[in-house]
Structure 1
Amino acid sequence: MAGAAWTLSSAADLLPASLSLSLLLASLVAILVLGVAAVLFDHLRKIGCMHSLERTSVSDAFFEDPSSLNKVPCPSIFDPAEKYISLIVPAYNEECRLPEALTETFNYLKQRSTADKSFSYEVLIVDDGSTDCTSKVAFGYVKKHKIDNVRVLLLGRNHGKGEAVRKGMLHSRGELLLMLDADGATKITDLEKLEAQVRALAKKADSSLAPSATSSQRLSDVEIAVFGSRAHLEKEALATRKWYRNFLMKGFHLVVLLTAGPGIRDTQCGFKMFTRSAARKLFTNIRLKRWCFDVEIVYLCKHLRIPMAEVSVSWTEIPGSKVRMTSILHMVFELLLIKVGYGLGIWKIYS
């Protein structure tokens, strides 16, 4: 035994110092990679378990009516549509930007409903755990426009924009469901562009049915997703942004392309419309709660064979964005979660 130990020790002494250092570094890298992989897979598993619980749990959420102090039970995406369109507005610390956006939105909705009696709507503001007076501002609009037309869903604590949108979608009543940002960066009138595209795709789907099949489906029964896009403004944005921001955004778009594939140039525009049946499938499957839930929606649309389209919209940059340079790293991590979670079958897609 002593002779064997001496032989190993002598062999180690005879190894070049550079080779010993390389072996040590390789071992440390291997340990680090295995450790990161273990943490990643554990994180994916936890997200999967959480999603399973959310899919099977019965929601006890409700809307508060500030006029009567009554609690209105939240409807479900699985219920039949009661409104023509639902507008879902995720809001986190938006007391300053929300009033202008909501005022413009309600002016448009009221004008359209006056001109067209069949046009019914609801605005669903999802307060994602704000620490300012966002909920107070939102409830002011409930008092003014009545709880049948505007509702506030309080999440209690901050979950992320993706979760706020998901909750709003799952508790909406519209045939069409539109998510739009609380800053009012996109003109509300552009919803008509998305609406027209939804109808065009629905007509195409209806005409492709077999002659023996029943046609003229309800709009809410056809699975369609239409994405507002700022891609046509890219040249102007590249000219005004700093070089390192352009570099980061180009890199992010490349990673998005590798994750979700081609088809949608602008995945991050906060102006997206879904039919009720499409939203039912997408938002009962979605898992990401923060930055890259938009990319996950595109990924799910492709795998669930939900027709997608991209429509150019007007867009103005509004001061107060919550996206920081560090957010890019978080986004890339979430894109990795999508690729690994779905790619390895850790996350199941329910149809």
Structure 2
Amino acid sequence: METTAVRTRLVEVVVPVYNEQRALRASITRLQTYLSGTFPYGFRITIADNASTDDTWRIATELAEELPHVRAVHLDEKGRGRALRRVWSISEADVVSYMDVDLSTDLDAFLPLVAPLLSGHSDLAIGTRLARSSRVERGPKREFISRSYNLLLRSVMGAGFSDAQCGFKAVRTEIAQALLPGVEDEQWFFDTELLLLAERHGLRIHEVPVDWVDDPDSRVDILRTALDDLRGLARVARKTLSGAARIPMPARVEQAELPKGMARQLPRFAIVGVFSTLAYLVLFSMLRQAISPQAANAIALLVTAVANTAANRRFTFGVKGPDGAVRHQLEGLIAFLVGLTLTSGSLALLPDGVSHGAELVAVIIANACATFVRFMLLRVWVFNPKRRTSRRSSRTPPSSPSRTWTSRR
């Protein structure tokens, strides 16, 4: 028997759609039937039509009239993020969520997704296709792109979540409405930006392994989406470094703070990194005309690594004078070896005969992963101020013998 106490909790499920007349009726009917029969909480399904040009809106309004707990909302502009913002920002539910209209994710994962939010254990929840216990059916191209993108998020942005792009997420409504003003993207990067902002503010993100089957009829432009995501990452990084990403949060949420000194060091390291990366790409492209990609990569990386260490020594970490410069360069070569391993490995994985552009994409992604490792090595080891202080102390001359003898008397 259903309990009234449980049924009073409300979860809103948003299904963003654009020109989905083929799949919409079957998917919404299946979702409504599943939730009515198995979901122990109150629910509402909102079809968010993103300016469809086919019969999607007509079918959506028919479903809203025919099925209980279903409603339809129409937007005049496209954008999945825009649709979620529109519905989530005015929702009165306890938890807001969304899933793709193709229902690629097994619906049995929906209750484990929202339960930690309703109990107050977590603030956001995401389905992940990258957990060991997840069962995923999709082509190698999509698998490679997804894993590369999430590796980039973890290595460059320091993200702790594993799958930013899975179309199966939920948020406590008060948290969603607090975060939305800080999220700029209205398209596919909306998810990633929301999660990065949440993590920046110390919110708790719960992950649920999911079973997922790729939709062969997916019309997502992978290349355009990837480029938009990279631009979005650059914008979020700039906002984070400038402090503009800070937004008011509910009082009980603990705000995460950067370690001492990192707020000043990160933007300087990023500036040095941009110039180093550009110099590396120019050198790699020039050398690639005469030698193999592996040799060009090693030489270009070595030259820019030496310059990068010297620039970060002076500009980022404020070490002046020649004292320790040779040691810093030798220790900085550890970071060079990490970068060499990652870039050489990425080039080795490329099939024979790929274009020069594909080689550049591979080394850019690998260099981005190595950048995070380089910063942490330089900060906690090579230019650690405690280490420099201890070395100076060890070189301090002892007191004169007469003064030492007097003190003993």
2:129/2:166 contact within 8 Å kept = yes
Give secondary structure in 2 for the equivalent of 1:174.
coil
What do the CA deviations read for 1:223-281 (whole angstroms, capped 9, x no partner)?
A: 61111111137998699414xx5554444223322454231111111111111221121
Show the counterpart of 1:297: 194
Q: 1:179 aligns with which of 95, 98, 102?
A: 98
What do the CA deviations read for 1:183-242 (whole angstroms, capped 9, x no partner)?
A: 111122321111333356x25xxxxxxxxxxxxxxxxxxx61111111137998699414
Measure the CA separation in 1 of the matches of 2:234 and 2:56: 33
Measure the CA separation in 1 of the matches of 2:239 and 2:138: 36
What do the CA deviations read for 1:115-160 (whole angstroms, capped 9, x no partner)?
A: x5xx3221111111111111111111111025xx2221111122x1
Matched-pair identity in %: 25
Residue 130 of structure 1 pairs with residue 52 of structure 2: yes
Show the counterpart of 2:42: 120
Give secondary structure in 2 for the equivalent of 1:93.
coil
Give secondary structure in 2 for the equivalent of 1:232.
coil
Residue 150 of structure 1 pairs with residue 47 of structure 2: no
Residue 141 of structure 1 pairs with residue 63 of structure 2: yes
2:91/2:173 contact within 8 Å kept = no
Q: Which amino acid aligns with 1:150?
A: V
Deviation at 1:346, TM superposition (A): 4.5
Measure the CA separation in 2 of the matches of 1:327 and 1:337: 15
- In structure 1, stretches of 5+ residues that fail to align are 1-81, 204-222
Measure the CA separation in 1 of the matches of 2:200 and 2:134: 31
Measure the CA separation in 2 of the matches of 1:339 and 1:225: 21
> What pairs up with 1:1-351 in 2 under 5 angstroms?
84-112=10-38, 119-146=41-68, 149-158=69-78, 160-199=79-118, 202=120, 224-232=123-131, 240-242=139-141, 248-323=145-220, 324-351=222-249
Aligned-residue RMSD, C-alpha: 2.7
Q: Which has the higher helix share?
A: 2
- In structure 2, stretches of 5+ residues that fail to align are 1-7, 250-409
Higher relative contact order (Cα pairs below 8 Å, separated by 6+ residues): 1
Normalised by the size of structure 2, how large is the TM-score?
0.54
When residues 124 and 236 of structure 1 are mapped into structure 2, their CA distance, relative to the original with a 3 A threshold, is closer
2:95/2:118 contact within 8 Å kept = no
Show the counterpart of 1:36: none
1:259/1:338 contact within 8 Å kept = no
Size of the aligned set, in residue pairs, is 242
When residues 259 and 137 of structure 1 are mapped into structure 2, their CA distance, relative to the original with a 3 A threshold, is farther
When residues 106 and 350 of structure 1 are mapped into structure 2, their CA distance, relative to the original with a 3 A threshold, is same
1:225/1:273 contact within 8 Å kept = yes
Measure the CA separation in 1 of the matches of 2:132 and 2:19: 28
Q: Which amino acid aligns with 1:230?
A: R
Measure the CA separation in 2 of the matches of 1:344 and 1:321: 37
What do the CA deviations read for 1:141-182 (whole angstroms, capped 9, x no partner)?
A: 111025xx2221111122x11111111211323112111111
Measure the CA separation in 2 of the matches of 1:87 and 1:347: 27
Give secondary structure in 1 for the equivalent of 2:213.
coil
What do the CA deviations read for 1:296-347 (whole angstroms, capped 9, x no partner)?
A: 1111112222211111112111122232223211211111111113322355
When residues 199 and 164 of structure 1 are mapped into structure 2, their CA distance, relative to the original with a 3 A threshold, is closer
Deviation at 1:348, TM superposition (A): 4.9
Give secondary structure in 2 for the equivalent of 1:350.
coil
When residues 345 and 97 of structure 1 are mapped into structure 2, their CA distance, relative to the original with a 3 A threshold, is same
224-233 vs 135-144, greater mean Cα deviation: 224-233
2:136/2:211 contact within 8 Å kept = no
